Amino acid sequence: MKVLILFGLLVSCYLSNAQFSIKFEPNYDESKVPEFTVTDPLTTFKGRKVRNVRVWEKKRRPELLNFFTENVYGKVPGELKISEWKIVEKGENAVNGKAIRKQVDIIFEKGNNYLRFNILMYLPKNIEKPPIFLGYNFYGNHTITDDVNVLISDAWVMDNPSFGIINNQLTEQSRGVRINRWAVEKIIDAGYGLATIYYGEVDPDKNDFYDGIHPFFYENGRQQPAANEWGSITAWAWGLSRALDYMENDNEVDATKVIVFGHSRLGKTSLWAGARDERFAAVISNNSGCGGAAMSKRKFGETVARINNSFPHWFCRNFRNYNLNEEALPADQHELIALIAPRPVYIASAEEDQWADPRGEFLSAFYASPVYNLFGKQGISYEKMPAVNQPVQNTVAYHIRSGIHDVTDYDWEQYIKWADRQLVNK
């Protein structure tokens, strides 16, 4: 009987997925974006108007944070501190002699569980305690540079034959394959450090919860998080906070000036990391799209149902309540951006990245801005999108670059210019 029920369930799941994928046609037509009311970040769920920073901080911010925690990304089920860190490698002559390189293992141990992730850091030699860009990479630290001293991760990785990555393993063959996305020398020349981590070391990006950081918190034979507990995005965001814990103990960096950065799924992650953890000084989301900066209710390009179907492990299970039901969302992604206020936030889109809904990413920045104004900070004051390659760089910053879904030198040049003004007062 049980077997039959299980079989029935599997078949119906399969059918509903199959039907969904047959039916799903992304909308790329602005005239077909549904009309909807934009929820007001400055009105509480009970309808009270927020007129000052105190009410924002005491009432509205906590209830919004709670909404995203319980219904979108999932909460971290408990506390886990770093057990130990180890500087496993250090070089005094990196990036054409301009930087030191440090590779630091961050280790967690609890019961039978063990996890280690490695932070690769490049720090400019001529600046004492530099501000630092911190961001995950997709295929291992050794892919962001041709520096032969960068260690190769032994964690599970998604195959990518064009990068020579097969059997879910990294080898020397993939060294430097992502150099184009990381303007290391520009960052160092501008007086910033760079810290990066392979995201798969914190939680492998696959639809199970057996590996990575999740199992540290299972009790009584449980094998997956509860409906309001963390998917992978929260796990990755949690990892960024632990990297920051480490930096607070590293006297070679300025931990009060850590700019958390991420692209695409890792841009969703950087926004959530910055919203959850107010120690991050500034946040950059590069082409983060659905579940990141883009407003879900627009249903332009990728939608909630589509992302939950394709990547069932990214969000918490409660987020599925909004599959084909975005209208019911009591808060949209602009309110995620608002949670970062008054700290600087940069949202960037790419013109050809329609799947991520550039206009929806821009509108989030715009609709989050009243919260920045409440703090006396300048957000995005015009509802009209700026032209391609014409950045608007206030405390809330936005640009749409020409080209595809990617991270380019142009993007990094903007982030540096903006950080110079917002964080370093250059």
Chain residues 105-144 in contact with ligand GCU, contact rule CB under 6 A: none
93 or 310, CB closer to ligand GCU?
Answer: 310
CB of 310 vs ligand GCU, minimal distance in Å? 6
Q: How far apart are CB 350 and ligand GCU at their closest, in Å?
A: 12
* Alpha-carbon distance values, 77 to 212, 216, 217 (Å): 14, 10, 7
Strands (DSSP E) found in 229-350: 258-263, 282-286, 345-350
Tokens representing residue 289 in the block = 């799209």
User: Would you count residue 290 as binding ligand GCU (CB under 6 A)?
Assistant: yes
Residue 284 as a binder of ligand GCU (CB under 6 A): the answer is no
- Interface pattern 246-265 for ligand GCU (x via CB under 6 A): ------------------xx
Nearer to ligand GCU, 225 or 289 (CB): 289
Q: Quote the least distance from Cβ 390 to ligand GCU, whole Å.
A: 24
For residue 229, the SS3 value is strand
Among 262, 289, 379, 391, binds ligand GCU (CB under 6 A): 289
Provide the minimum distance between the beta carbon of 91 and ligand GCU in the complex, in angstroms, as a whole number: 31
> What is the nearest approach in angstroms of ligand GCU to the Cβ of residue 289?
5
> Given the complex with ligand GCU, which of 265 and 334 has the nearer CB atom?
265
Per CB under 6 A, the segment of 23-31, 88-96, 302-310, 361-369 that binds ligand GCU is 302-310
Q: Which tokens hold the place of 47?
A: 């309808």
Q: How far, in Å, CA of 286 to CA of 361, rounded?
A: 10
Size of site (CB under 6 A) for ligand GCU: 8
Q: What is the full DSSP assignment across 339-407?
A: TTTTS-EEEEEETT-GGG-HHHHHHHHHHHHHHHHHTT------SSPPPTT--EESSEEEEEESSSSS-
State in angstroms the smallest separation of the CB of 149 from ligand GCU: 28
Instruction: Tell me if residue 160 falls in helix, strand or coil.
Output: strand
Please report whether residue 237 would count as binding ligand GCU according to CB under 6 A: no
- Report how far residue 102's alpha carbon sits from residue 123's, in angstroms, rounded to the nearest whole number: 8
Q: Which of 120, 259, 307, 423 binds ligand GCU (CB under 6 A)?
A: 307
Q: What is the distance between the alpha carbons of residues 206 and 314, in angstroms, rounded to a whole number?
A: 9
399 carries an active-site annotation = no
Q: Cα separation of 33 and 14, whole Å?
A: 29
405 is catalytic: yes
Residues in region 10-39 near ligand GCU by CB under 6 A: none
Do residues 108 and 115 touch, judged by C-beta distance below 8 A? yes
Alpha-carbon span 75 to 211, nearest angstrom: 18
Which of 264, 285, 296, 364 does the annotation list as catalytic? 264
Measured from the CB atom, is 41 or 212 closer to ligand GCU?
A: 212
The residues annotated with a catalytic role in the active site are 264, 405
Name the residues that contact ligand GCU, by CB under 6 A: 264-265, 289-290, 302, 307, 310, 355
